[in-house]
Chain A
């Protein structure tokens, strides 16, 4: 680290490369190389040459496009919902201490320890048909709930629940950099809550929000268990769709093509994060 800092002043080209060498080597060896092989396998066929037929098929197949579209909007909606739900909790936790705050945090982070399969089971037992909510409603002589199980709302509820901790943790760690003193000072100068939030807090946690969204997009694009167990049979999200193409249809070519397409969407989002980081660096350098 010391070396890094010193040479950082001198440009740090070599020490930078040295510091990232190990993870990058692991990445190239066990991820990038296999990914590249898989990608090439979708366009180059030994003996017959290049072909982009599987991509043409995907983008002309209404069924595949409907699945992609569903994935996109479930991803967008779920990410926004997660941030909207997590942000007030994060703000509260940042500026409050005490045992209630500790309990709130412990509770809000709890879904992290619940494996998806169990989330699905708990969901079915609670919100599912004749689940505990229905049981209570019937006992109170009220009409039963319109169960979200096997409807498009099912996986969204499950995913928001399941993803709350990660979103909260990332926002909270970003908020850790907002000093209570600066917020207090601004409040003493007469700034309202909304002004405080938009003028002082938001700018400082920008990179955290972007990284939160990036992780949400990544996770949702490949989400499998919850959409599969809680959602309707069709349209499918890309995760279950790829899995089905791969094992049930025994069609690795089209499955890998779908994988490359999802990957491209995730990479596009990753690029936004990288650009934000690069911008931040220039801004403060």
Chain B
């Protein structure tokens, strides 16, 4: 394999892609995957979506006995749903941006630099996810109470920011770890400055993983409720808080189904966008090596 090393992994040559494409004009594997996923992923979602329009649907009917837009009207005419959506997007964006700003440099340090307590500190981030929240409620609440952050936008941002630390450090560390060091050394040998090495060798290789971390963080933060309940109530009500209070222990599945379908479209677009940066080679080409 050593003889292959000099080939930069990110300049997946268009010819290579074309060669694969030529070999398989019809993407049978893709169609097989698509069919499988359609059944496994889409079927439950479609059933949920149909519920959003169903007013009465009882076994053994294949389609609902009575359909209507009643639940849609009732849900979407609520002022708080729109307010919550906007609030959620603001909080989530703020958290993700701050988290990336403080965590990515830290992840780089953990992956590349040597400093006292490195392994210990790195391992310690585990406690963000591994220790159940209920044991920490009183202590956390006390801290936020003394700072007068209960029920505020920034209080929720702070508590959710802490929740992102693990993903935003551990995932990028594996990215910086996986960067081919020989390429960096080669670039440095031919006289590239450290900054140029970072921008044109290290970052492009790590970027797909960094995007994965950002995407995971964004979505997880958007749907996070445990911390948001504790710190946000009674003033801050995010979208999933509204959703869960509709869904949980509600006799009608419809409210939840409506809100869920309502969030479908933006999610699907986000997914397709993610493909551009994370998926095959579109991204690498964009950066041009």
Contacts and interface: CB of A to CB of B under 8 A. Distances in A.
Q: Output the residue of B42, B216, B282 with the most chain A CB within 10 A.
A: B216
A5 B196 CA distance: 11
Q: Output the residue of A29, A121, A126, A172 with the most chain B CB within 10 A.
A: A121
Q: Chain B contact residues (Cβ within 8 angstroms of A): what range?
A: 35 or more
Interface string B168-197: 011101110111110000000000001101
Given A31-B136, A38-B135, A100-B34, A172 B105 contact: no
Q: Decide if the interface of chain B is mainly helix, strand, loop or mixed.
A: helix
Interface stretch (B65-73, B75-83, B85-93, B117-125): B117-125
B230 interface: no
B114 interface: yes
Contact of B247 (A37, A88, A89, A117): A117
A172 B111 CA distance: 20
Q: Output the residue of A20, A104, A114, A211 with the most chain B CB within 10 A.
A: A20
Interface in A21-48: 22-24, 26-27, 29-35, 37-38
Nearest to A18: B109
A63 interface: no
B279 A101 contact: yes
B97 interface: no
Q: Chain A contact residues (Cβ within 8 angstroms of B): what range?
A: 35 or more
A64 interface: no
Contacts of A75: none
B260 to A, nearest CB: 6
Contacts of A247: 134
Contacts, number: 362
A8 B283 CA distance: 28
A101 B30 contact: yes
A149 interface: no
B12 A11 contact: no
Interface in B121-180: 121-132, 134-136, 139-140, 143, 158-159, 161-162, 165-167, 169-171, 173-175, 177-180
16 contacts: A2-B195, A5-B197, A9-B194, A20-B106, A34-B135, A89-B33, A95-B20, A96-B27, A107-B42, A113-B263, A174-B178, A179-B9, A181-B12, A185-B4, A208-B209, A256-B135
Interface of B: 1, 4, 7-13, 16-17, 19-21, 27, 29-31, 33-34, 37-38, 40-45, 47-48, 51, 59-62, 102-103, 105-106, 108-116, 118-119, 121-132, 134-136, 139-140, 143, 158-159, 161-162, 165-167, 169-171, 173-175, 177-181, 194-195, 197-198, 205, 208-209, 211-212, 215-216, 219, 223, 240, 243-244, 247-248, 253, 256-257, 260, 263-264, 267-268, 271-272, 274-275, 278-282
